[in-house]
């Protein structure tokens, strides 16, 4: 690859772009996969610089399965709404079930879930 020396941010974005519709990843998981130098904190920082045009930022949630963006970055619960449109269900506590929706690029083929994107 000609551009293996991507920016710190580009690596995060590249990974986020691999998250399929109807699935999510957590900041900590992304940091763990990218490895050295990456922490949930920095991944979160990087994500806030992302553009909706370049990255499906909505598919990144915190370790609790909730939307950290709901606090102030975007109007109210936009992220949750976007995810719900993709088939990700949230409970009354505004958390999605990570056991069902968490995406792992390394075990992508192991998915025994139904086609959430079906539509």
Partner DNA sequence: CTCGTGACGGGGG
Partner DNA sequence: TCCCCCGCCACGA
Cβ atoms < 10 Å from Cβ of 117:
11
Burial 50-81 (b: 16+ CB within 10 A, else e): beeeebbbbbbbbeebbbbbeeeebeeeebbe
Instruction: Check if the beta carbon of residue 24 is closer than 8 Å to that of residue 95.
Output: no
Q: Which C-beta is closer to DNA: that of 18 or that of 49? A: 49
Q: Describe the crossing of helices 8-16 and 40-47 by its angle, rounded to 10 degrees.
A: 80
With respect to DNA, which residue has the nearer C-beta, 23 or 79?
Answer: 79
Would you count residue 80 as binding DNA (CB under 7 A)? no
Per-residue DSSP letter, 102: B
**3-state DSSP call for residue 68?**
helix
Interface pick for DNA out of 7, 18, 54, 85 (rule CB under 7 A): 7
Q: Which stretch binds DNA (CB under 7 A): 22-30, 80-88, 101-109, 111-119?
A: 22-30
Residue number with CB closer to DNA (51 or 115): 51
Residue from the set 20, 21, 33, 50 that interacts with DNA by CB under 7 A? 50
- When binding is defined by CB under 7 A, the residue of 40, 94, 102, 116 that contacts DNA is 40
Q: Which positions lie near DNA, rule CB under 7 A?
A: 7-9, 26-29, 37, 39-50, 57, 60, 62-64, 68-69, 71-73, 79, 93
């Amino acid at each position: 690859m000609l551009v293996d020396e991507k920016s710190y941010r580009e690596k995060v974005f590249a990974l986020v772009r691999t998250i399929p519709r109807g699935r999510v990843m957590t900041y900590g998981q992304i940091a763990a996969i990218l490895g050295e130098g990456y922490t949930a904190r920095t991944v979160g920082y990087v994500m806030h610089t992302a553009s909706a045009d370049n990255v499906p930022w909505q598919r990144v949630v915190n370790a609790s399965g909730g939307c950290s963006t709901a606090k102030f970055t975007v109007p109210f619960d936009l992220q949750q709404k976007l995810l719900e449109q993709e088939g990700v269900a949230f409970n009354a506590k505004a958390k999605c079930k990570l056991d069902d929706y968490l995406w792992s690029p390394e075990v992508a083929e192991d998915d025994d879930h139904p086609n959430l994107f079906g539509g």
